[in-house]
Chain A
Amino acid sequence: MGSSRRVRPVQALLMHLLIAVIIIWCLAPFYWTVITSLKQANAIYYSPTTYLPNPVDLASWIKVVNLPRFQGALLNSTIIASSVTVVSLTLGSLCAYAIARLRFPGKNIVLALVLAVSMFPGIAIISPLYLQFRDWELINNKLALILPGVTFTLPVCIWTLTAFFRDLPRELEEAAYVDGASRIQTFTQVIGPLAAPGVFTTAILLFIASWNEFLFARTFMSKVEELTAPVAVAQFEGADIAAVTPWGEISAAAIATTIPLVILVLVFQRRIVAGLTAGAVKG
């Protein structure tokens, strides 16, 4: 909208100022955590604090990265988030295709169910799930996080994919039918490849959502070696038993668990924004 009008210099200056403020506001806490993680152990406890790490010291990083329980937590999170993403995408894409393209009775009931789950507070079902998983001996088993992970990522998955499927041209499917392809062939061979970008975008959103899951992860995993990355960071009190809280190591741990997400954001920023808004804002 703004580009077509004449922009006065004062306005332009104000805009640039605002842009700078937004960028600084968003990155400042992140930046500060990086700075803290790079300070010498005792420099963290200076009061007033210093704005820059002088000298830069990688000790906190070396300690955290070499901690077996921390490596394990990153691995656990990767396994769980990937499994949730794959299963949720599989179930979700079938359901989204049916919603976007096929006529069937009860479609609104399905949509209402999906909507209800998206608003579900995890806390509402934590007690029965805990008792159930305890009886099934799933406590400290990754399945205890994958099962609810799939259910709670399904709404986002279904909405985003439905929006993507609707944007695909209908003629291609009709052409496939005319050529004698079955419904399943049409779905896997015509729609599948066309929807690949949308599916990929959705996969990123699902991966981030399940990587960040905290409530179930904290409740269903008690063994140190089964913790996920967010829980490990939440409970992290340093590599050694120390008299003072090791903020440097905590900062390094916080940044380390965030690196996969930051990489995803840097590489796929456009897709993430498209996917994030596709399901929520209807065109």
Chain B
Amino acid sequence: MNAVPAQHASRPAFRKLSTQEFLEARFALTLIVPAVLAITLVAFYPLAHAFWLSLWKINLRFANTPWVFLGFGNYLDTLTDDPRWLNALRVTGTIAVSSLTAEFILGMVFALVMNRAFRGRGLVRVAVLIPWALTTVVSARMWQVIYHATYGVFNRLLFDLGIIEAYKPWIISPIFTIWAMVWADVWKTTPFVALLLTAGMQMIPGELYEAAAIDGATGWDRFWRITFPLLRPTLLVAMLFRMIDVFRMLDLPIVLTGGGPGQATETLSLYTYRVIFTDLKFGAGSALAVMTFLVILCIAFVFIKVLGAPVAGSEAEDR
């Protein structure tokens, strides 16, 4: 932003150019207005509206129940006395940590393979794109069939391989369910991570590896001294988006487990959704929604400002 006036002042034919610059800026603003309007009216205005709703006690269960102004009462209630919210935070945090760890390790392995030249690359690309393109609820349905306690193939396979001695109720047991869900999530999202990491690897100049080979570096050295550090920006961006996705996660638990058993897999977004549309508490639910938004904002802040994730728009661009 600062670059524009600076260049402006240093130009000799100031008056003529400034008219041209004015015309260019006016044309640019005309082009961006529709998109900015769409974003403002359907995202930012409703967010402000959600904040307004969160200050009230609103129950739509019975018609004509009057709204009661609570100020920050809904927020205080959640923060001081809401075990279900704490549970949802814990569930979401558990998924975030385990899911991200698994998909970044696997994604890195995938990427290292996909980054090599070999016959049948196209086949791998198609295979990897299919979990990515699938609708999450459709994949949830698929995993329901796979995980079934008596006629699921997951049980049969593990049993045949001798890994388990008896069939397990993967998605109705309080112990296994969250891990079964993490596994399904890792399956669906690893391809996305792998594709981003592959793209990142392809931007690393080949000379670096050649130089390292001349210096006698092992494959392990090359990975930790060249690939990994140069991949850091890509890793951060991918992690940021995956992290945010976990905090938005609702479709997988709603279909695969219904958040159960009990509330064992009730994520932050699913809990919020239920307060709004099952309990019909629009005020309290909006407060939860605003808090979910704030959590995501904090995550984004840490990734972009503290860790320096190079997300488009996070830094000044002069072009």
Interface residues of A (CB under 8 A from B): 1-5, 15, 18-19, 22-23, 25-27, 29-30, 32-33, 36, 44-49, 51, 90-92, 94-95, 97-100, 102-108, 110-117, 119-132, 147-148, 150-152, 154, 158-159, 162, 166, 183, 208, 211-212, 214-215, 219, 229-231, 233-234, 236, 247, 250-251, 253-254, 257-258, 261-262, 264-266, 269-270, 272-273, 276-277, 279-283
Residues of B within 8 A of A100 (CB): 319
Q: Residue-by-residue, is B14-36 near A (CB-CB < 8 Å gives 1, otherwise 0)?
A: 00000001001101110110111
In the assembled complex, 27 residue pairs joining A and B whose CB atoms fall closer than 8 Å, in A order, are: A2-B117, A26-B131, A29-B131, A33-B141, A47-B167, A91-B38, A102-B27, A104-B29, A105-B1, A124-B50, A128-B49, A148-B42, A152-B43, A166-B319, A231-B137, A233-B138, A234-B141, A234-B251, A234-B254, A234-B255, A236-B141, A253-B141, A258-B138, A273-B199, A276-B195, A276-B196, A281-B237
Q: Which residue of A lies closest to B281 (CB)?
A: A127
B162 on the interface (CB 8 Å rule)?
Answer: no
* A151 and B292 contact, CB distance less than 8 A: no
Residues 140 to 174 of chain B near chain A (Cβ within 8 Å): 140-146, 148, 150-153, 155-156, 159, 167
Known: A212-B135, A277-B199. A124 touches B124 (CB 8 A): no
B203 on the interface (CB 8 Å rule)?
Answer: yes
Residues of B within 8 A of A119 (CB): 244, 296-297, 300
* B42 and A147 contact, CB distance less than 8 A: yes
Shortest CB-to-CB span from B284 to chain A, Å, is 10
Shortest CB-to-CB span from B200 to chain A, Å, is 6
Q: What is the CA–CA distance of A217 and B85 in the complex, to the nearest angstrom?
A: 25
* B196 and A94 contact, CB distance less than 8 A: no
Q: What is the CA–CA distance of A129 and B129 in the complex, to the nearest angstrom?
A: 33
Q: Which residue of B lies closest to A278 (CB)?
A: B199
* A30 and B130 contact, CB distance less than 8 A: yes
At the interface with chain A, which of B75-83, B93-101, B272-280? Answer: B272-280
Residues of A within 8 A of B175 (CB): none
* A22 and B135 contact, CB distance less than 8 A: no
* B269 and A121 contact, CB distance less than 8 A: yes
Shortest CB-to-CB span from B238 to chain A, Å, is 7
* B290 and A214 contact, CB distance less than 8 A: no
B257 on the interface (CB 8 Å rule)?
Answer: no
* B276 and A230 contact, CB distance less than 8 A: no
Q: Give the 4 A-B CB pairs with smallest separation, nearest first.
A: A111-B313, A277-B199, A128-B49, A104-B28
* B133 and A214 contact, CB distance less than 8 A: no
* B289 and A124 contact, CB distance less than 8 A: yes
Residues of A within 8 A of B196 (CB): 276-277, 280-281
Q: What is the CA–CA distance of A114 and B314 in the complex, to the nearest angstrom?
A: 10
Q: What is the CA–CA distance of A46 and B122 in the complex, to the nearest angstrom?
A: 37
* A214 and B50 contact, CB distance less than 8 A: no
Q: What is the CA–CA distance of A258 and B148 in the complex, to the nearest angstrom?
A: 22
Q: Which residue of A lies closest to B52 (CB)?
A: A128
* B113 and A214 contact, CB distance less than 8 A: no
Q: What is the CA–CA distance of A121 and B300 in the complex, to the nearest angstrom?
A: 12
* B43 and A117 contact, CB distance less than 8 A: yes
Q: What is the CA–CA distance of A25 and B113 in the complex, to the nearest angstrom?
A: 14
**Contact for A128 among B46, B122, B251, CB less than 8 A:** B46
* A26 and B128 contact, CB distance less than 8 A: yes
* B135 and A154 contact, CB distance less than 8 A: no
* B138 and A281 contact, CB distance less than 8 A: no
* A273 and B125 contact, CB distance less than 8 A: yes
Q: Which residue of B lies closest to A33 (CB)?
A: B142
Residues of B within 8 A of A250 (CB): 141, 144-145
Residues 49 to 82 of chain B near chain A (Cβ within 8 Å): 49-50, 52-53
Known: A25-B187, A46-B151. A15 touches B118 (CB 8 A): yes
Q: What is the CA–CA distance of A106 and B312 in the complex, to the nearest angstrom?
A: 15
Known: A111-B312, A269-B122. A95 touches B156 (CB 8 A): no
B120 on the interface (CB 8 Å rule)?
Answer: yes
Known: A147-B42, A280-B196. A49 touches B152 (CB 8 A): yes
Q: Which residue of B lies closest to A7 (CB)?
A: B116
Q: Which residue of B lies closest to A205 (CB)?
A: B133
B250 on the interface (CB 8 Å rule)?
Answer: yes
Q: What is the CA–CA distance of A87 and B211 in the complex, to the nearest angstrom?
A: 49
